[in-house]
Amino acid sequence: MTEMSETIDSSRLDKARGLMFGLALGDCLGAPFEDRTEVTHADVVAAENATEPLVHTDDTALALVLARHLAHRITEGNTRAGEYVDADVLAREFAETWEAEPWRGYGGGVTRSFRLIMSGTPWREAIRAVFPEGSFGNGGAMRVAPAALVGGDVREVVELARRSAEVTHAHADALHGAVCQAVAAHLALRLSPTDSARAREFVEPLREVLPTPLWREKLDLVVELCEREAEPGHAAEVLGNDVSASGSVPLALSSFLRHSGRPEEVIRFAILAGGDTDTVAAMAGALAGAHSGYTAFSPHVVGRLEAAERLHRCAERLA
């Protein structure tokens, strides 16, 4: 615990830490199962109980970059949410982080964009050179949760989500995915840890910020699956579990709403649903941690995260 953490409201800090650690925990526990055809409950429990350090992937690496960027911009004296993201600088910071550790399991398209950015191509050109219609991958959504710690209201969170995602993801569905995940994290931060999230009420503000038939239909399905207490495999069949934003963000939301108040169950559900397990579990874990707080996670598991020190520092700065 640092001097700074002693001056911050303890429940706010616990939720900020919960958001950052939940994201990293979902990423690390889910990573070994990415694209495996079958994952059992015993596999996930064995991963939780192991003793090796938990190594993260691109999801946590880029979320840490965004968290550090936001903290730095605020410390520099920027006071409006619109100024918290400097797109040119953020694009460069993401690309530098990829270049330093390209082995962390980055998407194929974003890898090509980062290579172009590092060779001097402006980010707007680089991302359109790879996918002219923009990437619809879930990369903007997987890293966006820290934006919820600094956006004061839904409008600000939406703006931050879009500005942080668009430097790599220009497709409308990737931006909708980032908005959905960031606003869900904002709502989870505001929900008392002693109340469980009610699916139907929780998604209402999300419907307001996702005005397309595809996303509204996905939100309806999320509510229906939660109310029917669907199993992870069925939720994945209905909502999708792939690397696209529209095929993964709703499943993460569904994992959270199905088990809100029990963060480790939320992450297990996301992993048992299969497919893009690190990313769905990272997004679900961020929501669960934002709701329940850091202290709701097992000290054994969070203590194994390789980035634990950096996660604590970022949470303290953003809280």
| Interface residues toward ligand F2R, by CB under 6 A | 34, 57-59, 105-110, 131, 133, 135-139, 142, 171, 243, 276, 278-279
Give CA–CA dist 157/141, Å, rounded.
Answer: 13
Give CA–CA dist 42/281, Å, rounded.
Answer: 17
Residue 225 binds which entry of Mg ion, ligand F2R, none, CB below 5-8 Å type-dependent: none
Nearer to ligand F2R by Cβ, of 77 and 132: the residue is 132
Residue 136 binds which entry of Mg ion, ligand F2R, none, CB below 5-8 Å type-dependent: ligand F2R
**CA-based nearest residue to 98, from 85, 86, 113, 84:** 113
- Chain positions 52 to 81 lying near Mg ion, rule: CB under 5 A, are 57-59
DSSP 232-275: HHHHHHHH--SSBSTTTHHHHHHHHHHTTT-HHHHHHHHHHT-S
- Least distance (Å) between residue 273 CB and ligand F2R: 14
- Least distance (Å) between residue 261 CB and Mg ion: 25
Site string for Mg ion, 249-278 (x = CB under 5 A): ---------------------------x-x
Residue matched to tokens 């430097």: 167
Residue 315 binds which entry of Mg ion, ligand F2R, none, CB below 5-8 Å type-dependent: none
Give CA–CA dist 35/218, Å, rounded.
Answer: 22
Nearer to Mg ion by Cβ, of 58 and 316: the residue is 58
Nearer to ligand F2R by Cβ, of 158 and 165: the residue is 165
Residue 156 binds which entry of ligand F2R, Mg ion, none, CB below 5-8 Å type-dependent: none
Residue 71 binds which entry of ligand F2R, Mg ion, none, CB below 5-8 Å type-dependent: none
Residue 65 near residue 93 (C-beta atoms within 8 A) = yes
Nearer to ligand F2R by Cβ, of 105 and 261: the residue is 105
Nearer to Mg ion by Cβ, of 158 and 239: the residue is 239
What length is written for the chain?
319
Q: Look up residue 82 and give its amino acid.
A: G
- Least distance (Å) between residue 9 CB and ligand F2R: 33
Nearer to ligand F2R by Cβ, of 128 and 200: the residue is 128
The secondary structure element, H or E, covering residue 301 is: helix 299-302
Nearer to ligand F2R by Cβ, of 35 and 208: the residue is 35
**Which residues lie closer than 8 Å to 263 by C-beta, 6 or more apart?**
18, 22, 285, 288, 289, 291, 292, 296, 297
Q: How far apart are the first and last CA of the chain?
A: 14
Residue matched to tokens 């769905």: 280
Binding site for Mg ion (CB under 5 A): 57-59, 105, 276, 278-279
